[in-house]
Every structure is written in C-alpha cells, then in structure tokens.
Structure 1
Amino acid sequence: MNYGDYKEVNDLSELPQVDSGSKFFVCIGGKKDYQCFYESKKLSRGQFLEKYANKLDPAIDILYEDEDIIIRQDIQFAIPGFYVIATKQIARRINQLDFRIIEKCHYFSNNIKKLLFTDASVKSVFIGYDEHYEKPSSTHFWILPVYEEKINLRNLSIHDKEFWNYFGYSYKFQESKQKIHYLNEKLRRILHKQEKNGKF
C-alpha cells in the first residue's frame, strides 16, 4: 500500500500489519463501519484530518470552526453526539493552552451538553480532555453522551470496565450513522445561529 490508500472494514482485525513507521488512521464512515487510511506515524491526527478532508465521510465533517477551535463528531467512535473540540493552538498539556481558549472550550462543551440532554434517551454526559505523552497529538476536549439503551447507568464511573466497553464497542457506524447526521445538523444550526447572534 502507498500513503493515502485506505481500506474499508467492519472490524479492525481485518487490517493488515504495517511497518513500524506507518499506521492506519481509523475513521468511521464509508460503506462499512470504518475507513482506515494508511499513513506515516509522524502525522498528527489534526494534520491527517486536514490532509484528507476531501476523502473523509461527511459524518465527521467540521461542524464549527473559528480562529481558535474546531468541533466535529469523534472520528473513530460511532457514538451519536460524541463530539471533540480541537484547539488550533498546539499544546501537549492543558496548562500550556491560552486560558481564553480553555474558557471557550468549556463554554462550547456545556452548550453541547445541554443540546444532548434534550434527547430523553441520554442519561448522562461526560466532559473531559486528553493529553498524550508520546503521540504527535495536541490536547483536545470531548463530550460523550451515555444512552440508556446501551448501558446500565447505576453508579456509572469513568473508571469502570463497563464504561470503557460502552465507549469502544457499543455502536457500529452503519447502525448509528442516521442519528449521527441528525445530531450533526442540529448542532451545526445551533452553533452558527449563536455565532450570528454574537453569543461568543
């Protein structure tokens, strides 16, 4: 395979082995559950998304962008309403981000959380952020809805195995893509309306 080639698979175990300097960037989308792009490990996720923007499934299109942030559906997990707020300021640690940008990320996170709770089947929403010690990846924020249909909510904790099973294995793209598109359009309209009215 050459860099830029991709395979569509229903299960990641279908992917071939690659050399140590390369990897598959896994994205939801396509005619199966995943589109997996063969690329160099040196490429960050943000660089990958920019480079292959025209080849990605519309389910992970950018929903909102300004001078500081980009908001989109998580590219790897097909949980409807699982949104990522990526910062354009590159920082390996949250304390390296400009405080104004952190405030903006919290503002958007809370607004997305309110939107998700308008769905009666959403019983909980987790908000967090990721830092990576070795990956070429910048700090980013995420908003994860928990749907009653998929998990027992009693005393649910991010430290539980049940939570991580929900996170990684509950949804397949071909089953959830309709709801992903529905929520994406709803969020896109709300965010652009707020921007037009000078809410942020």
Structure 2
Amino acid sequence: MIDQFCVALACSPRKNGNTEILLKAAVERLQSLNVETETIRLVDLSYYPCRACEGCYSTGRCVIKDDAGPVFEKILKADMLIMAAPVFSMGICAQAKMFIDRSQQFWATRYLLKQPVIQDDDFRQNRRGIFISCAGTRLPGVFEGSASIVRYFFKMMDIKLTGTYCYPGIDKKGEILARAGALEEIKDVSARLAGE
C-alpha cells in the first residue's frame, strides 16, 4: 500500500465522548491498514477565533500565531481528514466552528489570490475525508447546520468530503457504544477511505 497520512480531528470539548469514541474506531481501523494517523484534540490547543482583520487577504496565510497554524499545516499535508464534532444547540460545537473560521485564509487563497490551496494536482485530487457527528436530540434538521459548515471547510481545504456519518439521540457519554452498528459502520467507512 502507498504510504498515506490521515489527520483525525477531535473537536468535542468532552474527552472520550461519543464523537471521539467513533473517531478512535476510525483511527484504529486505519492503523490496522498501516495508514499513518495523528489525532489532534482541539480542546487541548490554545487558539483564537478569526478576528476579521483581513491580514490573510494578501498572502493566503493567517497572521495570528497560535496552535491553529501547525494543525492547518498538518491538514495541508494529509491524504485524509476525519473530523469528529458533536452538535451543540443545533449547530457544530464552538471548538470546531472557531477552528473552521480560521480557514478564511484558504478562502483568501482560492478567491482573492486565485490560487489552489494545494498546488500539486495529483495530490489535491486524491485528498478525501469524512465527517462524524452525534447529537443528543432527534429533532428534524439537527445536523443540517453542522453539515453545511463542514462542506465549506472541506472545500476550502481542497479535500473531497466522501461521507457524513451522523447519529441522533446520542447524549450521555459513551452512549454511542450501545448504538447498533455505529462502530462497525465507521470502521468500514474508514477502510474504504484508505482504499481497501
């Protein structure tokens, strides 16, 4: 198998919560296929929200120096991205939204500087990823807000979003373990993501 690298982005503020349990299942499956992985927990980092300073408009790079920069650099080098974020208040959790807002620098690269975010055509065309989410409620449309934000983010990062895997009615920590087929689905999807 060709060497592959996957960034696993854990966005929940709750350590070992439901989305992180699913993310760990994905990572374990990828590692069993000899895919290099790196799990990054946003809650462990120190980073700031976009301040709309437009400092990235001339260079395509954010002027804020914090822990977000190195994470973006890793994502730019990754063949795959798996993003796991819960729904809070009918939208993506704050940690994920704050990080995604910092991708404004890549919007500037694409639309102001008229350049691809990923220069290598072959590498860009093969980048892919999935989004995993859980929500406590079963209300209609509970994942719609998160899904549209994630679609935007993957587009800005030049990553093809190949699937969104959402599990409603999952609230208490560890509850996803009782959801029939959830872990198996994520493991299977991860194997397909790696080309197996």
Q: Judge same fold: TM > 0.5, yes or no.
A: no
Structure number with higher helix proportion? 2
TM-score, normalization by structure 1: 0.28
Highest RCO, 1 vs 2 (Cα 8 Å, sep ≥ 6): 2
TM-score, normalization by structure 2: 0.28
